[in-house]
Structure 1
Amino acid sequence: MHKTAALITATLLAGRGAEALPMTPLANPNPVPAYCPFTQTKFLPFYNSGNKEWTDAPTLSISVNGIPLIATMDTGSTGIVIDSKYGFNTTYLTSKCTIGHVFYTSSHWLQEGYWCDTDVNVGGVVTSALALIRTNEVCCPAFSDSNENHRCPTADREKACVCKGTCTSAASQSALTRRATGDEDEDEEDGEDIATIEARQTTTVGKAYMGIGFARGNPPTHNLFMNIKSIDGVSVVDSSKFRTGYVINSTGVWLGITKANTAGFKAVKLNLREGSTESRDWGEPPCDVQINNGTWATGTFLADTGIPNAYVKGDVSHKEGNEITIRIPNPSTPFGEVGFLSVPKAKSGTIGTNNPVQPTWVGTRSILGVNTGRKFYNGYDLYFDGDGGYFGLRKKSN
């Protein structure tokens, strides 16, 4: 690994082997790895393909136990939540699965269920993950994650409106609705981004919530897009032609990284998530945030398909009308840059509406950096190399 100072080489962990980066001139600081050997891939069109401006969260057609469902595809969480009525009886859950839960500390909603290894067919792609099979949702203000039974004590069960403190129609929405409408508070440090929320749908087809993001708290074993078994009946296990990862554009998602579907991207190498011992548990990409031409603050970046709003934390607090600029991965050599205005929640959707990447409103993030929300995808396509740990963006031509 030592040619000349004018050339860069690197070694990647390939999908099931090793693949080297090409020798790339130093003039290109953000090269995409050489994906020439990898040809197994599948394009999955979004079920709500008519949504061209990322007004709603993207959805995909899936099937579980032979039952067709519509799943929200969320990059802001990791894990799939499926209601037990879709082919999971009590005997199966208690004998084959492990009792579990997901709890939202800010809203006090508890998802009660079981962790089960579950196969899911996503448009001909068979994949598997440790899924939460939900048996119940309950408002549980005094719940503690230290509870060994993963259930809300009967005496602590409250009315739904207690979880929000009022009984207005918006307040009585369950946790399964609020994130899709952008009303769920971001609370990354408490693991609030674990996917347990159904998206808004007008169809009578059953629903699920599928978190395919990385660095969201849950390990890769929970991520369907990191555990693909076969594509159109052809196994990818131990295949030298398959590279774990995805490319998201405005009409759908490519599963399986190739040279063709990453053309035009620029990328940055990711570090493993802090504290993780798993080889593919990657951390968030870096970015810098500037408020009103002030000092650049270095943090992390998330383009969250699950919400229409954004969360930002820079060197100073932002307020209504402030200009917010994001550069990825850094201010000096960015391959991604967006700007939008700070909008209070009370004025959601009324400011900066001529800007396609403008979030509906902008809250304050708990850590330095930005969660752009899904409007970011009006300006950029995104790719994630799950095997090698690369994150890339490609600016849209229109």
Structure 2
Amino acid sequence: MLTVRKRLFAAVVAAAVVAGCGSGATTTPPAGSQTAATYDAYRQSYTVPWVGSPDFANLRTTLKVEASVNGGPVSPFTVDTGSVGVVVPASEVPNMPADSPPGSLTYSSSGLELTGVWVPASVSFPQAVDATGAGAAAQAAVPVLAVTSSRCRGGGVNSGRCTAAIPHMLGVGFGRGTTVRAAPTHNPFLNLAAMTAGTMRRGYLIGRAGLSLGLTAANVTGAWTMQQLTSAGSPAEGAHNDWLTPTGGFQSGSGPLHSGKVLVDTGLLDMIVEADDMPSSGTVPVGTAMTITVGDLRYSFAVGDGGPQTPTAVHRAPARNGTFVNTGLRALGHYDLLYDADGGILGLRPE
């Protein structure tokens, strides 16, 4: 990342739990001392600029970076922490093997179903620079869904806005399921050549000035609130284990604090909340006070108040897997986000 805070943490073991404190207008700092995982052994990283210089104080579109698949055209791709896998129109993927297996992917919030073939491919980031600021060849080898057709199936909270257009997506989430297609092997941010070689810490930072790929002592700085994730065990494919969805919850109005799981999903601008004792459809009324927790961090807003962390809407959905909140992208209105795939750590840093 180009935005750097100068106060370094004391180094501890690489997979340590971090109990930090947040700050800012909507944050209640958690109690406890500050410690951090050490990244001192790592020097390699890339920074990739965002397309369009997004305003984090008022995010109105998803975050995008330029990428190319198999040397095809360079296009803006949405960075989506709510899914796993690269999605691209098949017309933009050169040199597809004739025996590429069929595949499909459906986005639950929109009901968009994409069908095509899975292609082993190289995903490159032509605007990447290395830790010295020099242009660098940042490239990952992952399966890619080359999409030939799409349809709107309905059923999601955003299904009314589904257009069946084929998107450009970089699905870089974790804990998204136990199938082969949800495995870390399909995440382009975890399979760069230097990561495969073991010289780059597997992980990424989503920050104001751009996307950082690879974690180092130079970019993991500042007052992070971090949560040690629970291992999901060996995935259906690959050598690296996955991690379960972080703990968190929400409070709506004067209701109880619902504790369960939280997903910081950069693929959405709105929010989804689920709990057994709440309605399973509709939206939370404008003006309702909401409090969101992500591990030890807490932030608040009123629905519709237009604040940096206020989603465009708050949808209710059936609680099929217990209490759950999908924060949407605008949770990052006051924070940078870190995911350490080697240590199993999710972090948020106030900005």
* Aligned positions of 1:23-42 closer than 5 A: 28=32, 31-42=35-46
Matched, 1:352 2:305: yes
Q: What's the CA shift for 1:243?
A: 0.3
Q: Do residues 272 (structure 1) and 231 (structure 2) align?
A: yes
1:21 and 1:34 in contact (8 A); partners too: no
Gaps of 5+ in 1: 1-7, 13-19, 142-162, 165-169, 177-196, 199-207, 230-234, 343-350
SS at match of 2:36: coil
* Normalised TM-score (structure 2): 0.76
Tell me, yes or no, if structure 1 residue 174 matches structure 2 residue 138. no
With the length of structure 1 as denominator, give the TM-score of the two structures.
0.68
Which of residues 249, 268, 290 is equivalent to 1:324? 290
Gaps of 5+ in 2: 1-10, 21-30, 129-136
- 1:279-328, CA deviations, whole angstroms, 9 ceiling, x for partnerless residues? 43111111132223443221112221111110123574374133211122
Task: Summarize deviations over 1:94-134 as a string: whole Å, max 9, x none.
Answer: 32x21112245786653221111110111331112111111
| Identity, % of aligned positions | 29
Task: Check the 8 A contact 1:38/1:257 in 2, yes or no.
Answer: yes
Pairing 1:237-252 to 2, within 5 Å after superposition: 237-239=196-198, 241-252=199-210
Counterpart contact for 2:118–2:145, Cα < 8 Å: yes
Distance 1:374 1:37, change over 3 A: same
Once superposed, what is the RMSD of the aligned Cα atoms? 3.0
Given residue 119 of structure 1, which amino acid in structure 2 is its aligned partner? Answer: S
Instruction: Report the Cα offset of residue 385 of structure 1.
Output: 0.2
Q: Which residue of 2 aligns with 1:216?
A: 176
1:101 alignment counterpart = 104
Aligned residue for 2:219? 261
The letter of the residue matching 1:359 is: P
Alignment partner of 1:375: what SS?
helix
Aligned residues: 300
The residue number in structure 2 matching 1:390 is: 345
Q: 1:389 to 1:57 in 2, by over 3 A?
A: same
The structure showing larger relative contact order (alpha-carbon pairs under 8 Å, at least 6 residues apart) is 2
Which whole-Å CA distance do the structure 2 matches of 1:359 and 1:172 have between them?
16
Amino acid at match of 2:265: D
CA gap of 1:394–1:104, structure 2 versus 1, over 3 A, is closer
CA gap of 1:128–1:360, structure 2 versus 1, over 3 A, is same
Which residue identity does 1:387 align to in structure 2? D
Q: Is the 2:14–2:37 Cα contact (8 Å) retained in structure 1?
A: no
**Residue 40 of structure 2 aligns to a residue in which SS?**
coil
Aligned with residue 115 of structure 1, among 115, 118, 124: 118
The change in CA–CA distance for 1:80 and 1:87 in structure 2 (over 3 A counts) is: closer
2:62–2:329 Cα contact (<8 Å) kept: yes
Measured at CA, do residues 87 and 308 of structure 1 come closer, stay the same or move farther in structure 2, by a change above 3 Å? closer
State the partner residue of 1:381. Answer: 336
1:339 Cα deviation from its structure 2 partner? 1.1
User: Larger radius of gyration, structure 1 or 2?
Assistant: 1
